[in-house]
Amino acid sequence: MRRLSRHIGATVFSAITIALLVVVGVDAIAAIIDEGGAVQRNYYFSDALIYVVTKLPSTIYEYIPFSSLIGCLFGLGVLATNSEVIVMRASGVSLLRIVYFVIKPVLLFVLISTAVGEYFSPYLDQLAEGRREYLRNGESTRGSASGLWNREGSEFMHFNAVFPGGVLFGVTRYQFDKDKALREASFSSRATYNATENLWVEENVSITRFKEDRTETDKQITRRWTSELTPEVLTVNVLPPNALSISSLYNYINFLELQNADTAVYELAYWRKVLQPLVIIGLVLIGISFVFGPLRDSTMGLRIFVGVVIGISFKIIQDMLGPFSIVFGFPALLAVLAPVLLCMGVGLYLLRRGG
């Protein structure tokens, strides 16, 4: 039985890996073509390649559920085509045990998905975005149409590029008085966060102070800047909610609740990430049920086609329920959980009929 478990596990694992490589490869090619249109001075095609490669972990995270579905259909389909499934059932191996053998390698992809989404893709996505904006805008004062704007009290700030770990390039700060009149504008080529003292250190600072009848200019090699802005807050502002880690989303949701602010978008992203393992298991379960049920005697091409249709349909339902939960105010957990429960329900029903 152990040899049978290894055989099924290796077949399914190889099939999921192949499906993941194909899907991620196609997406990467499309991303390179799309990013190639943004090539300009100081941002070359090689930089576009680096950008796409740096964002590959987030692409892998996004496509693991879909690839798991296709891989299970393909791997079990190979076993069914070679009549190995029939031999297993004739030898007394229960359908439940075969499902268990298939789920085991899938759990490895669940762990990979969780690790990538929590520890790798948020950091690398911010690195990719920061590097691209730095190459485009550099440390100069131009490029305010892109980058990141932030407000703290009566001060407005713009950053050309934000790197992970608390490194800013092209920092422009505008300070206004209570009458909304501009009192000081400054620009620094770079600012780094000092976690020990909880402050920023600006470099190569040019300062212009606006008096009632004149302006004063000043230059400083370095300047200490005390602010409530932290690298963690910048990460939340730079990346879209679906690119943040579970811990970052949880902390930011709590922060927004304290401010009586709307948390719907971040709650939706949070539950999608938390329930990602269930999404993978649900899609795999429905894939297994199709191999033992309606697609038992089908060709491999039809199985893969059905898998693609199921995956796209699941994505459409998920993308529809998410915005609906925000607009109509029903829980984000329900919007994420409903398609998963639907997949599991259909899968268990078909498995019961097939068994």
Least confidently predicted of 52-66, 246-260, 263-277? 246-260
Q: What was the pLDDT predicted at 289?
A: 84
Contacts of 60 (CB under 8 A, 6+ apart): 20, 24, 112, 116
**Element containing residue 184 per DSSP (H, E):** strand 182-194
The DSSP secondary structure of 5-34, one letter per residue, reads: HHHHHHHHHHHHHHHHHHHHHHHHHHHHHH
Does residue 6 sit in the same domain as residue 58? yes
- Is residue 95, in this structure, part of any structural domain at all? yes
Amino acid occupying residue 65: P
CA 30 from chain centre, in angstroms, equals 18
Domain range for 26: 2-135+252-354
Tracing tokens 């989303």 back to the chain, one arrives at: 249
Does residue 82 sit in the same domain as residue 164? no
- Is residue 74, in this structure, part of any structural domain at all? yes
Q: What phi, psi does 341 have (nearest 5°)?
A: -65, -35
The rounded distance, in Å, linking the Cα atoms of 213 and 166 is 38
Q: Which two tokens stand for residue 304?
A: 């893969």
Task: Dihedral sign for Cα 7, 12, 17, 18, please.
Answer: positive
Average pLDDT, the chain: 88
pLDDT band at 223 (very low <50, low <70, confident <90, very high): very high
Tell me the three state secondary structure of residue 222. Answer: strand
| pLDDT over 60 at 143, yes or no | no
The rounded distance, in Å, linking the Cα atoms of 291 and 278 is 20
Contacts of 326 (CB under 8 A, 6+ apart): 264, 265, 268, 332
The rounded distance, in Å, linking the Cα atoms of 348 and 212 is 76
The distance in angstroms from the start CA to the end CA of the chain is: 20
**Mean of the pLDDT values across residues 206-219?**
90
Q: Which of 58, 49, 71 is nearest to 24 (CA)?
A: 58
8 Å CB contact between 169 and 183: no
Last residue of a domain, one of 238, 264, 296: 238
Give me the number of domains the chain comprises: 2
- Is residue 173, in this structure, part of any structural domain at all? yes
Tell me the three state secondary structure of residue 284. Answer: helix
Does residue 21 sit in the same domain as residue 130? yes
What DSSP state is assigned to residue 40? B
Q: Which two tokens stand for residue 24?
A: 């991620």
The rounded distance, in Å, linking the Cα atoms of 154 and 132 is 30
**Element containing residue 301 per DSSP (H, E):** helix 300-328
8 Å CB contact between 337 and 343: no
- Is residue 140, in this structure, part of any structural domain at all? no
Q: What was the pLDDT predicted at 300?
A: 67
pTM for this model (two decimals): 0.86
Does residue 256 sit in the same domain as residue 233? no
8 Å CB contact between 280 and 343: no
| 285-310 confidence digits (pLDDT tens) | 888 888 877 666 667 677 778 778 88
- Is residue 243, in this structure, part of any structural domain at all? no
pLDDT band at 233 (very low <50, low <70, confident <90, very high): confident
| pLDDT over 70 at 76, yes or no | yes
**Mean of the pLDDT values across residues 130-150?**
75
Q: What was the pLDDT predicted at 296?
A: 66
**Mean of the pLDDT values across residues 146-155?**
87
Q: What was the pLDDT predicted at 140?
A: 63
Tracing tokens 């709307």 back to the chain, one arrives at: 262
- Print burial letters for 294-307: b (CB count within 10 Å at least 16), e (below 16): ebeebeeeebeebb
| pLDDT over 70 at 182, yes or no | yes
**Element containing residue 336 per DSSP (H, E):** helix 332-354
Least confidently predicted of 100-114, 254-268, 291-305, 310-324? 291-305
| 161-174 confidence digits (pLDDT tens) | 999 989 999 999 99
Does residue 163 sit in the same domain as residue 231? yes
| pLDDT over 90 at 193, yes or no | yes
pLDDT band at 205 (very low <50, low <70, confident <90, very high): very high
Does residue 310 sit in the same domain as residue 182? no
The rounded distance, in Å, linking the Cα atoms of 170 and 191 is 8
Does residue 167 sit in the same domain as residue 205? yes
